[in-house]
């Protein structure tokens, strides 16, 4: 009888211990026009789902604020009034625009949220059969320029000085949303989680096995094959790639990322991965390196503390920043 009771006690203890083990709770959905994957690792299922739902609510809120496709957003209001008058905005949007302009200065215009005037000229859906007319590109390019984004901190006003000028957050918005989602989840007690915004990923805490999360870098030649692995510990990994979105003219491959300084797509690079504590910054820098090219891009990254980079060239060569450690084993 005592042996039977001991066995029962051991089973109860084991079940209680298993109940305390973190489990993975996961949701995949489309937000901001992209695939989002949100994961929480916790022993409490209700807390995990509360965290995931809070992240979804936050991302949806940010989308309403920054979307240039929503006619009711503050961003659309700014664009409609380009060359007409300044627009007062929420402090959150003002700060995001201000940070974007600072990155433009750091990258000498390789990153520029006013690139949006080019959004109807280049098509990367297979419909383009020839290069657009040079005069059309030139006209649209004349409306790009971060120096023409006038900011008034005292009044929280944003003014685009050139008629027809537009701003868009395609190269920074998902990284910002991932960071804000992580903050919401952490505030609800989620100590381990992953938010992956279509390649803009932030991870914190530990995986179920107690180890650091591992992020795979896709092989451009085989998108379902992992070329190398990065260990992620309370940081973000953001990848910009042209695996599927590019055009080919005269045997030259043009990526879907536009150089705001010329109005033409970038060449020479298939993907850029940035590792940084801040996914918003990483998002912007991945685009910047695409535009700057390998030499200037890596020179920039090597000057930035706490930021690393991995580049895959058109020739499938892997080039990294000074201190990035990668693992080719799974």
129 found inside a domain: yes
Instruction: For 20-44, write each residue's pLDDT tens digit.
Output: 789 999 999 999 999 999 999 999 9
Residue 219 vs residue 29, higher pLDDT: 29
Q: What is the pLDDT of residue 123?
A: 84
Q: What is the pLDDT of residue 9?
A: 46
122 found inside a domain: yes
Instruction: Tell me which of 129-133, 261-265, 309-313 is least confident.
Output: 129-133
140 found inside a domain: yes
Q: What is the CATH number of the domain that holds 136?
A: 1.10.3980.10
Q: Which percentage of the chain shows pLDDT scores above 90?
A: 72
219 found inside a domain: no
Our count of domains for the chain comes to 1
pTM: 0.90
Q: What is the pLDDT of residue 220?
A: 66
Q: What is the pLDDT of residue 330?
A: 47
- Alpha-carbon distance 302 to 288, whole Å? 14
88 found inside a domain: yes
Residues whose CB falls within 8 Å of the CB of residue 93, separated by 6 or more in sequence, listed in order: 65, 66, 74, 75, 158
85 found inside a domain: yes
Domain range enclosing 83: 74-160
Tokens of 275: 């590792």
- Alpha-carbon distance 114 to 309, whole Å? 25
103 found inside a domain: yes
pLDDT at residue 16 tops 50: no
302 found inside a domain: no
The mean per-residue pLDDT over the stretch 166-193 comes to 97
């Amino acid at each position: 009888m005592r042996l039977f009771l001991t066995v029962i006690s051991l089973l109860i203890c084991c079940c209680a211990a298993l109940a305390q083990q973190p489990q993975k709770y996961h949701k995949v959905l489309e937000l901001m026009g992209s695939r989002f994957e949100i994961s929480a690792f916790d022993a409490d299922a209700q807390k995990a789902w509360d965290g995931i739902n809070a992240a979804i609510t936050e991302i949806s809120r940010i989308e309403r604020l920054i979307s240039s496709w929503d006619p009711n957003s503050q961003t659309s209001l700014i664009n409609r009034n380009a060359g007409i008058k300044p627009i007062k905005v929420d402090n959150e949007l003002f700060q995001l625009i201000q940070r974007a302009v600072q990155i433009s200065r750091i990258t000498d215009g390789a990153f520029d949220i006013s690139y949006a005037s080019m959004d109807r000229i280049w098509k990367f859906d297979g419909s383009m059969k020839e290069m657009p007319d040079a005069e059309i590109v030139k006209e649209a390019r004349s409306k790009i320029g971060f120096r023409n984004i006038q900011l008034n901190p005292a009044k929280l006003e944003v003014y685009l000085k050139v008629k027809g000028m537009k701003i868009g957050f395609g190269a920074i918005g998902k990284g910002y949303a991932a960071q804000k989602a992580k903050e919401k989840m952490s505030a609800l007690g989620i100590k381990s989680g992953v938010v992956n915004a279509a390649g803009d990923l932030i991870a914190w805490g530990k995986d179920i096995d107690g180890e650091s999360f591992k992020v795979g870098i896709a092989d451009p030649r085989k998108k379902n094959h992992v070329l190398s692995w990065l260990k992620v510990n309370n940081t973000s990994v953001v990848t910009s790639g042209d695996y599927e979105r590019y055009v080919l003219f005269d045997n030259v491959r043009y990526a879907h990322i536009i150089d705001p300084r010329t109005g033409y797509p970038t060449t020479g690079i298939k993907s850029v991965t940035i590792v940084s504590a801040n996914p918003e910054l990483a998002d912007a820098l991945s685009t910047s390196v695409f535009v700057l090219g390998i030499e200037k891009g890596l020179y920039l990254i090597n000057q930035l503390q706490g930021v690393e980079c991995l580049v895959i060239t058109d020739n499938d060569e892997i080039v990294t920043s000074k201190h990035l450690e990668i693992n080719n084993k799974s």
